Structure 1
Amino acid sequence: MKSEYVIALIKWSRRHVELTTLSLLSVTLVAIWTLAELIEEVAEGSTQSLDRDILLLLRTSGDLSDPIGPWWLEEMGRDLTALGGVAVLVLTTLIASVFFLLRHRWTSMLYLVATVGSGIVLSSIAKEFFDRPRPDLVPHGSMVQTASFPSGHSMMAAIVYLSIGVLIARVQPGLILKVYILMVAVLLTILVGISRVYMGVHWPTDVAAGWLAGGVWAMICLMVADRLAKRGHMEHEAHEDA
């Protein structure tokens, strides 16, 4: 019975593509509005107390140089934060690009490279514009050289993993597989952001802004990809036979 409902939902979505696009656009606009509100609050200094409290919660009482948890948790934090580093994200983008090449999805490959490349530029410009200092409340568990807001690791992880997740999910026919791919992309994005606060190199609001900005970019990516597909400039999304 559940499978019948799923099939019916897929058929309904195909008949109401514009409504689905409108829903996605609504979510994107809400995310943009939330990001704008967050930027205003950070600029006014209204989030300082919240940022400090959350950062201190992740530190051992009486020793701010020691993150909470056993030694292996701190080691995991370093491993997870590397997933948002330049080397890992570039390598991931190259691997995904080869995937599309092997499937003869040339437009998807070019679109991915353009999305990630423009995302890197956008992240760099945002950091230079806001120029927020890094947290000085606790020692940093990772080397940092750029400004703090928004979190570049969080933003680029969202852009890369969510964009790749969306583009790969489009070429998978099964609904369950699509959901799984997107869930993995979201999980990786969340873990990278949390690790940045845990390592003491970002305020929580830096990470939140990075997530929002990257998420908006990924949703715009999905809408533009669908629009290009409708005009015949990009491969159409794959569906299960139903």
Structure 2
Amino acid sequence: MIAGDSPLPAEDVRLPERGFAIDRRKALTVALLCWAGFAAMVYAVTHGLTAGFDERGLLVFRSGPDLAPRGSDLVLESVRDVTALGGVFLRNLFALAAVVALLFLKLRREAMLFAITVIGGWLANTAAKLLVGRDRPQIVPHLTEAGGESFPSGHSFSAAVVYIGMALAFAALSRRHSVRYTLVLGAMALSAMVAWSRVVLGVHFPSDVVAGWLGGAGWAFLAAALLYAPARAAADSAAAARFDAPSGLRKTASAPPR
């Protein structure tokens, strides 16, 4: 702060105005396309149609008789960093932080919808794993610890749910299409990188991560299309009003700046 300047009075801090609601028809269209792809992958895996694709996908990142990973140690460490973004700790930490930030910004509807999206996505992924029950690949050595069923990839599914759902929630802060699409496309790219990292580390077949990403993205868009109304009803209830930002921050965005 420059010497002599006085701090901005708390009553002059203004929260942004909600500027965007998800186009539910577009979200539903994207969701249906993703779920159609997910269903196709389930059919292909359960009918043994992905063996060649899966083997080639795993081997492309390996070399030599011991099937060591391609690239330097720095590349491998970077891949592990990327995969951690879809792990239980960081993924849930970011999700919790996003809910808190949305509540602080008085976007209770978006906070409620995002929370429902994340919880519902976890249930959907767990159900899919139990139904298919695929073992993890043993074609190449694993470069990180992994347990449980392989299909669909939990990292891929959950990363798509959390990061795409988060982007859809925070898109409510802007009226500009370019900003909203950049947020959503960036989240899709980030979650796709998490999915790719699981194949590089050898703990998932390519078909696992393709299905996981499609299923997670499909759930995030489906929730945005179909669950906004119940989330809005819950968020607008008297009980939810307790989570509003402090009264000192409740100046509306329409008030003229000083």
User: Quick check: TM above 0.5?
Assistant: yes
- List aligned pairs for 1:76-87, cutoff 5 A: 76-87=78-89
Question: SS of 2:130's equivalent?
Answer: helix
- Could you give the per-residue CA deviations for residues 143-175 of structure 1, whole angstroms, max 9, x where no partner exists? 111110000000000000000110111232332
Partner of 1:98: 100
State which of 163, 176, 179 in structure 2 corresponds to 1:177. 179
Partner of 2:217: 215
Partner of 2:153: 151
Deviates more, 1:212-221 or 1:175-184: 175-184
Question: SS of 1:137's equivalent?
Answer: coil
Aligned residues: 218
State which of 99, 122, 125 in structure 2 corresponds to 1:123. 125
Regions of 4+ moved over 4 Å: 225-229, 231-235
Tell me, in whole angstroms, the C-alpha distance in 1 between the residues paired with 2:233 and 2:84.
38
- Could you give the per-residue CA deviations for residues 72-103 of structure 1, whole angstroms, max 9, x where no partner exists? 11111110000000001110011101111111
Q: Which runs of 5+ in 1 are unaligned?
A: 1-13
2:110 maps to amino acid = S
Tell me, in whole angstroms, the C-alpha distance in 2 between the residues paired with 1:125 and 1:205.
17
- Could you give the per-residue CA deviations for residues 18-40 of structure 1, whole angstroms, max 9, x where no partner exists? 9x644443332232222212111
Residue 63 of structure 1: CA displacement?
2.4
Partner of 2:90: 88
Q: Relative to total residues, which structure has the larger helix share, 1 or 2?
A: 1
Tell me, in whole angstroms, the C-alpha distance in 2 between the residues paired with 1:225 and 1:170.
16
Identity over the aligned pairs, expressed in percent? 34
Change (3 A) 1:171 1:233: farther
Q: TM-score, normalised by structure 2?
A: 0.78
Does 2:33 match 1:30?
yes
Tell me, in whole angstroms, the C-alpha distance in 2 between the residues paired with 1:206 and 1:84.
14
- List aligned pairs for 1:61-80, cutoff 5 A: 61-64=64-67, 66-80=68-82
Question: SS of 1:213's equivalent?
Answer: helix
CA contact (8 A) 2:112 2:235 kept: no
Partner of 1:58: 61
Question: SS of 1:91's equivalent?
Answer: helix
Partner of 1:39: 42
Residue 45 of structure 1: CA displacement?
0.8
Q: Which runs of 5+ in 2 are unaligned?
A: 1-19, 237-252, 254-258
Tell me, in whole angstroms, the C-alpha distance in 1 between the residues paired with 2:61 and 2:157.
21
Partner of 1:3: none
Q: TM-score, normalised by structure 1?
A: 0.82
CA contact (8 A) 1:225 1:234 kept: no
